[in-house]
Structure 1
Amino acid sequence: MGKNIIIIGGGIVGLSAAYFLQKQGHQVTVMDKSDIASGASFVNAGYITPSHIIPLASPGKIAQGIKWMFDSSSPFYMKPRWDIDFFKWSWYFHRSSTIQKVEKAIPIIKDINLLSRGLFEEMKASGDMGDFHLERRGLLMLYQTEAAYDHEIEVAKKARSLGLEVSELNKSELEKIEPNVKINANGAIHYECDGHTTPNELMPKLLAHLKSVGAHILTNEEVLDLLLENDKIKRITTSKGNYDADEVVMAAGSWSGKLSKKLKVKLPLQPGKGYRINVHRPLGISMPAILMERNMAVTPMKGFTRFAGTMEFSGINNVVRKERVSAIANGAKTFYPEISITDEEIADAQTGMRPVSPDGLPYIGKSGKVKNLTFATGHAMMGWSLGPATGKLVAEIINEKKTSMDISALSPDRRF
């Protein structure tokens, strides 16, 4: 018999959970404080990235963040502020940034990314969302310096040892694979295992499909409180009413930590703000790329090219910092010298909050303190890539089935 399930959060993770849960016969309600037309699931680079095997929490990251702390245009920016939760998270991040912990995280990140890549393909083949943009052209890691090459070639060797398809391209080979745009780079590492999509196309189609199969979608409805009774969530109070549920899925992205506090559950989480610029004119770019020295992404999407990047830790806010957007535009010019992003395109930039755990791994699993609560958050920059896999795992957890992969390392109760 199907359960009454409420999913808090209507991003790619929440909608993916709804997609797989409704297929199992459950009555699903998705509630979101927005109109589900903006935020991290709409401003990301659209990557499906088995190649991103190194977690954000890696050796040297904190030192880099401190170095860039007073440069608000830097790719990895930590705004100086008095915030106890941020101090604790930073300490956990530091403790997680060891070679040993990174080595343990690598196969987990690879496995969940591969699971998700396969599910994206299954979702397209199902026809549930109609046709949507999904390509498997790989990802170019473009480099201009030997230092960037030396760093990435070590990652590439690791990826290759794990069975991922990766190759090297020199300057002439790069020109052949990307012939219609001038690129100022010495070469590229080509992760052929990766794919990409257009989030602004897929999200509305996924939302429309869920409505068509009977899922309840509650927009512009903020969760205000959660009532606990006998270690279970008895009632959810929103800005518009009260709701009961058999099971609750916490997929509220960067707001998951604050909501968890209402349940007396500690979930170390910080919002990492990212930005994007869309260019709706032909640029000649056909391959997704990471501009290594600029720490930014470029994706040819359906109808436009997206330039995205930065990781800004400044709390939950929607402020678009002009200097950070300008840094993305300037970074694009550095690698694509014949492309100039206009003032109008810069002015149209948007931002989204990505939920970042201290060790770079998502929180996926049942809460040890609240019996009917399942977490699905903390994906950092891989939220889009890992959305379908997380949704599938959530459905398996709630159905008490063997999960598609070992998720013990993703426990929301893990210690740092």
Structure 2
Amino acid sequence: MKHCIVIGGGIIGLCSAYYLQKEGHQVTVIDKSNFSSGASYVNAGYITPSHFIPLAAPGMINKGIKWMFNSSSPFYIKPRLNSDFLKWTWAFKKSATASKVEKAIPVIKDINILSRDLYEDIKASKDFNFHYERKGLLMCYKSDKVGEEEWEIGKRGITEGLGVKNLTKKEVAILEPNANLNIKGAIYYDSDAHMTPSDFMSEMLNYLKVRGVIFYANEEVKDLEILNGSISKIITNNQELEADEVVLAAGSWSPLLTKKLGLQIPIQAGKGYRININRETGISIPAILCEAKVAVTPMQGFTRFAGTMEIAEINHKINLTRVEAIANAAKSFYNNLDILEVEKALADCGLRPCSPDGLPYIGKSSKCNNLTIATGHAMMGWSLGPATGKLVSEIISDKKTSLNLHAFHPDRRF
């Protein structure tokens, strides 16, 4: 049995704690918040084998440059003369090639399917009773051009073994009769599932507390002491802690700590927004509104609209133009659906840790013997929570990992 400290109490941190305690390890989780906020609480709640194309894909650089001048665009990069940002941008550019995307596709698909299966295992256990539904995902489009692009991806999904259909507007209406969609058609993936994030997070927290996992809330890790290539001490704003193994699952804040080890893991914070509607919408199947890049999820008692990727440093400022863009997309794609001013006023945001190549960092760096890194999941953090946690526990328990970790190596070059 090892004493493990997990830095970060989001979905990745809690899932790491879950699988570590199942292996019999003693676990402590530290988080700079009070375990009730952040990207793990405001995301779309998707489990997405359908999202097998990484963010760093051919054409994204050109789109990003074009969208840079549009404050309501789905993908926005704030240009700045910062060395970390410039290195990340250069690595993103080098990753956005057809050959690199080709290599990433099966890797992303496989870890998503592993994670979906693990969510279903957790759900099937008698210890949990959270909202989880596998109803698939509709990629809804308004123009023939976007429809053709999405179907090309869909056909690749079929090649990868996923169940994918190209649906007409009438066929979508049969699947989703009460949503009143204003679209030309949709690509339907039967592989995907969805959840209510806050529901799962609170259940997992309670489960772990009952089983002796220690939690330190509102505690920020200020420094790491290194001795003979290992972390010997974790220094927070309140105390000093020692552990056999350390898991770094601090999301967008992770590079602030890896730099103390002389380890560079390129990450930029990608801000996403969400609006909740606590009234009947008629929406029963999750959908991506393709042209607007907005995700729609029917959750437990409400519908969530989430979207945008805003790479503009670590901050939680609400950009009202982006909130308005999400509301406009809802109105455009769903007839008679107006998001009210009071609902927009309660919009929230979270920061997703984006690696340059669209693959997370999972594993040990050669720079530190007792540190396992688990971050950089971008928009798939929720989807990949259990798979990452399982892999972390296998690494620390010296077991054969469920997946080959080569593509996720923290020391990989871009």
Tell me how far apart the structure 1 counterparts of residues 53 and 37 of structure 2 sit (CA, whole Å).
28
Partner of 2:15: 16
Identical-residue share of aligned pairs (%): 60
Query: Contact (CA 8 Å) 1:109, 1:361: kept in 2 or not?
Result: yes
Q: Post-superposition shift, 1:79?
A: 1.2
Deviations 1:212-237 (A, max 9, x none): 00000111000000011100000000
Deviations 1:367-405 (A, max 9, x none): 111000001000000000000000000000001111001
Partner of 2:209: 211
Deviations 1:33-67 (A, max 9, x none): 00111110001000000010000000011111111
Tell me how far apart the structure 2 counterparts of residues 337 and 175 of structure 1 sit (CA, whole Å).
13
Q: Post-superposition shift, 1:82?
A: 2.0
AA matched with 1:214: G
Q: How does 1:1-400 map to 2 (within 5 A)?
A: 2-128=1-127, 130-400=128-398
Tell me how far apart the structure 1 counterparts of residues 184 and 283 of structure 2 sit (CA, whole Å).
17
Q: Matched residue of 2:68: which SS?
A: coil
Q: Matched residue of 2:304: which SS?
A: strand
Query: Contact (CA 8 Å) 1:70, 1:79: kept in 2 or not?
Result: no
Q: Matched residue of 1:287: which SS?
A: coil
Query: Contact (CA 8 Å) 1:287, 1:300: kept in 2 or not?
Result: yes
Q: Post-superposition shift, 1:80?
A: 2.4
Normalised by the size of structure 2, how large is the TM-score? 0.99
Query: Contact (CA 8 Å) 1:112, 1:386: kept in 2 or not?
Result: yes
Q: Post-superposition shift, 1:337?
A: 2.2
Tell me how far apart the structure 2 counterparts of residues 114 and 71 of structure 1 sit (CA, whole Å).
35
Q: Post-superposition shift, 1:407?
A: 1.1
Deviations 1:221-276 (A, max 9, x none): 00000011100000000011000010000100000111111111111110000000
Deviations 1:62-108 (A, max 9, x none): 11111111222110001122211101100000000000000000000
AA matched with 2:41: F
Return 5+ residue gaps in structure 1 as ranges.
none
Q: Post-superposition shift, 1:150?
A: 1.2
- More deviation, 281-290/255-264: 255-264
Deviations 1:287-320 (A, max 9, x none): 1000000011000000100000000000000101
AA matched with 1:196: H
Tell me how far apart the structure 2 counterparts of residues 70 and 40 of structure 1 sit (CA, whole Å).
26
Q: Matched residue of 1:152: which SS?
A: helix
AA matched with 1:236: I
Query: Contact (CA 8 Å) 1:273, 1:351: kept in 2 or not?
Result: yes
Q: Post-superposition shift, 1:127?
A: 2.2
Q: Matched residue of 2:384: which SS?
A: helix
AA matched with 2:407: A
Query: Contact (CA 8 Å) 1:298, 1:308: kept in 2 or not?
Result: yes
Q: Matched residue of 1:273: which SS?
A: strand
AA matched with 2:109: K
Q: Which one of the candidate residues 400, 403, 411 is aligned to 2:401?
A: 403
Paired residues, number: 414
Deviations 1:16-43 (A, max 9, x none): 0000000011000010000111110001
Tell me how far apart the structure 2 counterparts of residues 25 and 200 of structure 1 sit (CA, whole Å).
26
Q: Matched residue of 2:399: which SS?
A: coil
Tell me how far apart the structure 2 counterparts of residues 261 and 117 of structure 1 sit (CA, whole Å).
33
Q: Post-superposition shift, 1:181?
A: 1.9
Tell me how far apart the structure 1 counterparts of residues 57 and 162 of structure 2 sit (CA, whole Å).
21
Q: Matched residue of 2:306: which SS?
A: strand
Normalised by the size of structure 1, how large is the TM-score? 0.99
Over aligned residues, Cα RMSD in angstroms? 0.6
Tell me how far apart the structure 2 counterparts of residues 392 and 66 of structure 1 sit (CA, whole Å).
38
